[in-house]
Amino acid sequence: MSEQDRPVPAVAARGPRRVGVLLAVALTVLICDIVSKTVVVATLSNRAPVRLLGGLLTLRVSRNPGAAFSIGPSMTLIFTLIAASVIVVILRTSRRIRNLAWAITLGLLLGGATGNLIDRLARYPGPFLGYVVDWIQVPHWPVFNIADSCIVCGGVIAVLLAVRGVRIDGMSPGRRPPAAGGPGDPGSGDGPAPAQDGQGGGEAG
C-alpha cells in the first residue's frame, strides 16, 4: 500500500490542556467586576447619574434582583441556583479543555457567573437573595455590569464555536478510512474478480 492510499487517523493530535488560561480569564473578569462594583457603590450611591461622552455612556447604581439586564426580578433564588450550577459544570468541564478559544470563552462565562453569584450571596437583602449591582448604561439598553457583558460575550462566542464544530477537547475530524465494500475492494463486486482455477489462463497442454 502506497503512502497516499494509507488511511489518515480519524482525529488529529490534541494540544495541551488550557485550564490555566480558563482560570486566568475567569480571575481577571472576577477582579474587574468586584473592583468596579465596589468603586461604583462607594462613589455613585445617593447621587445623580454621571453622563459621559455626550450621553452615550451613563454611570449609575442600580440594584438588580433579576438576571442579566433586569430579566426576571421575582426569580432571584432561581437565578442564584442557576449561576451556581453553571459554575460547577464549567469547573468539571475544565479538565477536558484543550482548545484555546473554548478556554477563553468558558473563562468569560465562569468569571461573569461568579461575579454576579457573589452579589447574590453577599449583598442586600441576604444570602441567595442579594441584588446584583449594575452600573453601566448605554442608550436603548438596560443597565448592566462587567459580569453581564462577559456572560453575553461568552455565550455568543460559544454558539459560534459550536456552529463551526470546534471541540472543547481540541480534537478535530480528519479523513475517514475508505468504507468496506468500496471500489476496488475484492469483496464488493466492483473491481476485477480474482482468477479461478482453470479459468483466465487457457487450458494447459
Q: Which residues are designated catalytic?
A: 134, 148
Q: In terms of Cα–Cα distance, which of 57, 121, 163 is closest to 132?
A: 121
Per the structure block, which three cell numbers stand in for 29? 473578569
What span, in angstroms and rounded, lies between the C-alpha atoms of 34 and 17? 28
- The amino acid occupying position 129 is L
β pairing state of 57-64 and 50-52: antiparallel
- 3, 29, 170, 192, 195 from 174: Cα distances, Å: 16, 36, 13, 30, 36
Q: How many residues does the chain have?
A: 205
What span, in angstroms and rounded, lies between the C-alpha atoms of 189 and 86? 55
Q: Is 65 left (phi over 0), alpha (psi -120 to 50) or beta?
A: alpha
Say if CB 83 and CB 113 are below 8 A apart.
Answer: yes
